[in-house]
Amino acid sequence: MLAIGLVLNTLGIGLFCWAIIALAVYALPFFVALIIGMMTFHSDAGLIGAMLIATAGGALTLVLGQVAFAVTRSPALRIAIATAFAVPPAVAGYHVVFAVSNIGVPSLAWREVFASLGAVCVGGTAMTRLVVLAKTRPFEPDVVVEKPS
């Protein structure tokens, strides 16, 4: 029974870590959807209306972020967009790793080190996934210029 418990705990923690990394890029749209949903619910839109508006707001945030990243050519603006999408997952990754490290790490200094590494990993993953999901397209059509021979 002990061996089964250890295996299941390891699988559970691994699944939890995979979910954090896989869903990191959706942290900003989720927070935007949550804020929009709470505002619409408190303005007496009803539960269904708040959920629909929140879902639309979160999806719109994700799509607009990816389109803005793909369309812009300025490296500074691209870094700003990617940072806006990477900061919320980094904060969430910091807090998750800090909470999980409370289980087996007695030193507060090492918990801070592990939490900081977790924030960098999760934030970097979110930034990388945003860059991969947004495909850049050139503004000009593909024109073949023939050289005179």
Instruction: Give the tens place of pLDDT for each residue, 23-45.
Output: 877 888 989 999 999 999 999 88
User: Looking at the predicted structure, is the pLDDT value of residue 142 above 90?
Assistant: no
User: Looking at the predicted structure, is the pLDDT value of residue 140 above 60?
Assistant: no
On whether the CB atoms of residues 59 and 29 are closer than 8 A, the answer is: yes
Tokens at residue 108, please?
Answer: 């507060």
Mean pLDDT value across the chain: 85
Output 143 or 112, whichever has higher pLDDT.
112
Mean of the pLDDT values across residues 1-16?
87
Angstrom distance (rounded) from CA 125 to CA 26: 11
Tokens at residue 7, please?
Answer: 């295996």
Q: What is the pTM of this model?
A: 0.70
Sign of the four-CA dihedral 55, 59, 65, 68: negative
